[in-house]
């Protein structure tokens, strides 16, 4: 049965894109069964060639179709809505027996192959597969954008745009399930466009959420503030500003309770308790403007109370003459209100009183020192007064008076300690001048008077001459330094003021003699012998 075998072989060929049937020409036998090499081949050539070409074209088309199905499988049952799969049957004409002569009509023009229903179905399936692939690509692009904005909490802030994106996405899914791939692709593209718009607005949304969170904080709405800042952190997870204000929002209720408690204490004039509550509120939220404002307000009330008490105590001490105590309290009051004119005027009065009291005290000390003739101490007091006020007249006069007394006292002390200096006429004259100046000093106390008397006595003694008797041998030339040459004599009497003198004797052929004599004041006559005895 050659035709059946040929049809079966063709069906097997169409089920695989790898098995291509090879057609082998049949051997032509004679009726007698013996080959007749001398008999010419009489079968028509052109019809056979046309038949072979048709078979090759059909086989090649089957191979291409099978390859397409392997790359793009098609659910035929869904495409045909439950219709059964139709088999592709290709009728293959049986090869005629070589012993029979086949007469086929020869068409001079070869017609093109018509589009069969199977080929049309194949083309539709390929187009649908391509549309599905495009829809899947649009879906993939949309899902990538959706993942990005979903991680940033788009459901919380996307609003109308997010709803529209979700609607487009749902409609696209429905069309995809209905295998309306072109419509699905369009909807996925619209959803992706909305997702892209939402992704581009994240920074603006972040700023808006922060502003709304700040407004909720100022309004005291902890819940809204927390929601806004948490959503903002979904967009910018590492934002210090959002994190810090979220922490503020989490403590907002406790802060508000403390502020309300402080206000209650404040109304009842319990400012210390109110101060504590406001300070605790600021510890929980250092950026709370309301808590800071309340704390400043209650501080001002406390400061006002303390200021008034300090002012009162300071002025009371001033009127009692306790100037330093008054100044201490007023300075503390000034630390509470540095710009208060009240405390400034009070301090001026107290400072002036302190200044005058200090001057009066120093004056008293200076006068006491003058009375005891402690002029160094008196001078120190007068200088202290002039340091306070360099124009005070009594201090200027007292300073000059003390300096004169100190200077004269030093000069007198010098001559009293070294009376021998008055042996010279210049020093004696200086001592006399000191006495004259000392007598003009006022006041002149008993100590100065005593020392002045002692100096006068020394000056008188220094000015009173003492008799000196010089004896010689009338051969020696005698001379006294600071007096002059006396010549030769046996005795010679001189009147010399107290002091030291040198007497020199000289004689030809003899060694000179030299003798120093000291004339003491208030001494009896002094006797000196000057004779040259040793020959040269």
Per residue, the 3-state secondary structure of 140-193, as one string, reads HHHHHHHHHHHHCCHHHHCHHHHHHHHHHHHHHHHHHHCCCHHHHHHHHHHHHH
Is 42 a residue whose pLDDT tops 70? no
290 vs 94: which has the higher pLDDT? 290
Q: Which of 490, 488, 535 is nearest to 511 (CA)?
A: 535
**Terminus-to-terminus CA distance in the chain, angstroms?**
197
pLDDT of residue 504: 94
Interval 317-364: pLDDT, tens: 988 888 889 989 989 988 888 888 988 999 999 988 988 989 999 999
Percent of the chain whose predicted confidence (pLDDT) is above 70: 77
CATH class of segment(s) 340-463: mainly alpha
- Indicate the average pLDDT of the chain: 78
Bridge partner list, 505: 478, 513
pLDDT of residue 261: 92
Percent of the chain whose predicted confidence (pLDDT) is above 90: 21
CATH 2.60.40.1120 assigned to domain 464-536? The reply is yes
pLDDT of residue 377: 93
Structure tokens at 297: 């307000």
DSSP label at residue 421: G
Is 465 a residue whose pLDDT tops 50? yes
Q: What element of type H or E holds 276?
A: helix 271-284
418 vs 67: which has the higher pLDDT? 418
Interval 518-532: pLDDT, tens: 888 777 778 899 999
pLDDT of residue 61: 54
Q: Domain boundaries in the chain?
A: 2-113, 124-200, 340-463, 464-536
Interval 290-317: pLDDT, tens: 889 999 988 888 888 888 888 899 999 9
Is 94 a residue whose pLDDT tops 50? no
Structure tokens at 56: 């090759």
Q: Which of 239, 249, 245 is nearest to 152 (CA)?
A: 239
Q: Which of 167, 117, 159 is nearest to 142 (CA)?
A: 167
Is 156 a residue whose pLDDT tops 80? yes
41 vs 376: which has the higher pLDDT? 376
Average pLDDT over residues 282-295: 89
pLDDT of residue 425: 79
Pairing label, strands 499-506, 477-480: antiparallel
Is 102 a residue whose pLDDT tops 70? no
Q: 3-state SS of 367-434?
A: HHHHHCCCHHHHHHHHHHHHHHCCCCHHHHHHHHHHHHHHHHHHHHHHHHHCHHHHHCHHHHHHHHHH
Identify the three-state secondary structure at position 196.
Answer: helix
The mean-pLDDT minimum among 46-60, 157-171, 322-336 falls in: 46-60
């Amino acid at each position: 049965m050659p035709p059946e075998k040929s049809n079966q072989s063709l069906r097997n060929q169409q089920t695989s894109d790898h098995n291509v049937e090879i057609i082998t020409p049949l051997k032509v036998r004679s009726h007698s069964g013996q080959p007749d090499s001398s008999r010419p081949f009489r079968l028509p050539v052109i019809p056979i060639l046309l038949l072979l070409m048709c078979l090759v074209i059909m086989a090649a088309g089957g191979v291409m179709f099978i390859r397409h199905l392997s790359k793009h499988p098609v659910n035929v049952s869904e495409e045909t809505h439950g219709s059964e799969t139709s088999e592709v049957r290709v009728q293959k004409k049986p090869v005629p027996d070589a012993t029979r002569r086949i007469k086929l009509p020869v068409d001079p023009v070869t017609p093109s192959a018509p589009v069969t229903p199977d080929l049309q179905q194949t083309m539709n399936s390929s187009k649908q597969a391509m549309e599905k692939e495009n829809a899947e690509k649009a879906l993939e692009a949309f899902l990538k954008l959706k993942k990005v904005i979903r991680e940033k909490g788009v459901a919380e802030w996307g609003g109308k745009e997010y709803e529209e994106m979700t609607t487009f996405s749902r409609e696209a899914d429905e069309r995809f399930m209905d295998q309306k791939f072109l419509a699905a692709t369009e909807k996925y593209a619209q959803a992706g466009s909305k997702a892209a718009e939402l992704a581009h607005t994240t920074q603006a949304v972040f700023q808006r959420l922060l502003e709304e969170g700040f407004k909720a904080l100022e309004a005291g709405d902890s819940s809204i503030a927390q929601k806004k800042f948490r959503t903002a952190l979904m967009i910018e997870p590492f934002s210090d500003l959002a994190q810090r204000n979220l922490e503020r929002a989490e403590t907002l209720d406790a802060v508000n309770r403390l502020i309300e408690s402080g206000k209650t204490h404040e109304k009842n004039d319990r400012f210390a308790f109110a101060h504590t509550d406001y300070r605790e509120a600021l510890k929980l939220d250092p950026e709370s403007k309301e808590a800071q404002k309340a704390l400043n307000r209650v501080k001002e009330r406390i400061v006002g109370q303390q200021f008034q008490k300090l002012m009162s105590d300071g002025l009371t001490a001033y009127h009692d003459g306790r100037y330093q105590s008054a100044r201490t309290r007023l300075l503390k009051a000034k630390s509470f209100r540095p710009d208060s004119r009240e405390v400034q005027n009070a301090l001026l009065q107290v400072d002036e009183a302190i200044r005058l009291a200090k001057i009066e005290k120093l004056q008293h000390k200076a006068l006491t020192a003058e009375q005891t003739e402690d002029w160094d101490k008196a001078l120190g007091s007068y200088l202290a007064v002039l340091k306070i006020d360099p124009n005070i007249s009594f201090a200027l006069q007292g300073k000059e008076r003390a300096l004169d007394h100190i200077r004269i006292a030093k000069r007198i002390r010098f001559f009293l300690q070294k009376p021998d200096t008055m042996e010279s006429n210049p020093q004696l004259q200086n001592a006399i001048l000191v006495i004259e100046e000392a007598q003009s000093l006022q006041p002149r106390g008993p100590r100065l008077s005593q020392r002045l008397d002692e100096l006068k006595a020394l000056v008188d003694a220094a000015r009173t001459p003492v008799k000196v008797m010089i004896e010689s041998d009338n051969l020696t030339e005698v001379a006294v330094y600071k007096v002059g040459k006396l010549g030769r004599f046996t005795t010679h009497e001189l009147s010399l003021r107290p002091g030291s003198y040198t007497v020199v004797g000289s004689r030809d052929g003899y060694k000179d003699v030299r003798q120093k004599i000291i004339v003491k004041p208030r001494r009896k006559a002094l006797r000196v012998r000057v004779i040259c005895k040793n020959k040269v």
